[in-house]
Structure 1
Amino acid sequence: MDAATVGSPALQRIRDRHKGLSGMDLLEATIKNEFKGKIAVVSSFGAESAVLLHMVAQVDPSTPVIFLNTGKLFGETLRYRDRLQEKLGLTDIRSAGPHPADLVAQDPNGGLWNADADACCFIRKVLPLERALKGFDASITGRKRFQTNARAGMEPIEEERVRGTGEPGSATGTRFKVNPLALWTQEDLEAYLDEHKLPRHPLVKDNYLSTGCMP
């Protein structure tokens, strides 16, 4: 559920400054310079998360990592998060989950995913992420062009509209999004995992097609 992207003169200037950068080089430039102190990683600690998180840890292990805990994750994912945190030395992992009031009002029995998957994602992913990103000028994602048709033209640096939460003091305007793996292929990811001997998500090893929320 990607937010709507926009364009601005500021975005073009940032793209011009970092033209041709990808992967570790783009992370180095945006974490240490362009958005220093105002950028956070967004991660589900899913199938390929170790690649991006390993890169971030090499640049600055104190970079905030927002972990989207929907309350519906597999136990294997929570244990994988703990394992990666210890192995990579990440020091600022922040868990973002649904607000209890939202669950009481819209998903009291935990079955909203079956009736309205988009509404479920909104209260368990979109709103928690917006709250967690308040105060940051940019976020880092592990999205890649090959994942969906909608992402086929995705740029390494984007600007998106802040969705807002409707709450007092909710963020507005736009936020930049850094996609250092946008141009990577599945083969690139596998090669990186092997080269750096990074652990695979246990559900991937068990041939699960998805490591997201439990059905």
Structure 2
Amino acid sequence: MLSAPTLLPKEGSARERLETTKSRAAELLDSVRNLSTHDALVRLIEEEFKGKVALVSSFGTESAILLHLVAQVNPATPVVFMDTGKLFGETHRYRRQLTEFLGLTDVRQILPDETNLAEKDPKSILWNQDADMCCWVRKVEPMNRALDSLDAWISGRKRFQSASRSKLEMVEAEGSRIKINPLAYWEKDEITAYFDKHNLPRHPLEADGYPSVGCMPCTDKVEPGDDPRSGRWKNQDKTECGIHFLDTGSAKTNG
């Protein structure tokens, strides 16, 4: 554990908060860089950010690994699940299955704000008109609310998933909050081996050609050998939903 944790800033300009958080992220990264994924999570969840961290999970095709790792550290760690109202039924069933299988005790189902939905998406077709705004209303804003009182959050992103994630680090700064990416350096074969070793249930849509699963209207099958995320917002200049971008209103920018 770091000897004197730097309190993450709550006041000052956005740039000042980011610079302080970047310094803290660099310290944390150095402290966990040579640890196993499990030991890194123990340090970050139980020591550095105890009671101030949550795992954000889509309960997608690779989510079971990070959920399993976190459950081994502390099954009461909050798990934030954004229910956009546009998810596959299979994802909801998978969430219930994994929650029981792993013994998770604090899975929080976060819904879009009804006022925002009524104003921005009254006909529930915003996904077909402005995908970025749809993601903001149904996922980004709800997640910001869910994480408002926390100092850190845990993401399942990995370098191999796409070009936009190829330089991802295990710990990074995001505004005045720390983002933890425990699986950043994992390779695809390690994912497969971990599923097999721990007999983890697979997302039911994976076998049907969906290596990455998001909202139903914006998720397509992927051809063998293609980028695993190429089925997300297919044929659009968009690669992320927006929750992984700092101080930007567009989910089109790679990060």
> Is the aligned partner of 1:43 residue 2:43?
no
Identical counterparts, % of pairs: 54
Structure with greater strand share of residues = 1
Summarize the alignment of residues 1-215 of structure 1 with structure 2, pairs less than 5 Å apart: 8-161=22-175, 174-215=176-217
Higher RCO, Cα 8 Å, sep 6+: 1
List, as ranges, runs of 4+ consecutive aligned residues in structure 1 with deviation greater than 4 Å.
4-7
1:105-140 Cα distance to aligned partner (Å, 9 max, x none): 000111000111111001111000000001110000
Hey, what's the Cα distance between the residues in 2 that align with 1:24 and 1:178? 13
CA separation of 1:5/1:51 partners in 2, compared to 1, >3 Å: closer, same or farther? farther
Q: What secondary structure, in the 3-state scheme, does the structure 2 residue paired with 1:211 have?
A: coil
RMSD: 1.6
Hey, what's the Cα distance between the residues in 2 that align with 1:15 and 1:125? 28
Hey, what's the Cα distance between the residues in 2 that align with 1:137 and 1:76? 32
Structure 2 unmatched ranges of 5 or more: 1-17, 218-255
1:69-93 Cα distance to aligned partner (Å, 9 max, x none): 1110011100100000000000000
Hey, what's the Cα distance between the residues in 2 that align with 1:6 and 1:35? 16
Query: Offset at 1:7?
Result: 5.7
Name the residue aligned to 1:171. Answer: none
Query: Offset at 1:210?
Result: 4.0
Q: How many residues align?
A: 200
Structure 1 unmatched ranges of 5 or more: 162-173
Q: What secondary structure, in the 3-state scheme, does the structure 2 residue paired with 1:202 have?
A: coil
Deviates further, 144-153 or 191-200:
144-153
Query: Offset at 1:150?
Result: 1.8
Query: Offset at 1:184?
Result: 0.4
CA separation of 1:152/1:50 partners in 2, compared to 1, >3 Å: closer, same or farther? same
CA separation of 1:203/1:191 partners in 2, compared to 1, >3 Å: closer, same or farther? same
Hey, what's the Cα distance between the residues in 1 that align with 2:67 and 2:122? 34
Hey, what's the Cα distance between the residues in 2 that align with 1:69 and 1:16? 35
Contact 1:6 1:160 in 2 (8 A): no
1:13-44 Cα distance to aligned partner (Å, 9 max, x none): 22222232352221111111111111000000
Hey, what's the Cα distance between the residues in 2 that align with 1:5 and 1:121? 27
TM-score by length of 1: 0.89
User: What letter is aligned with 1:14?
Assistant: L
User: What letter is aligned with 1:97?
Assistant: L
CA separation of 1:125/1:42 partners in 2, compared to 1, >3 Å: closer, same or farther? same
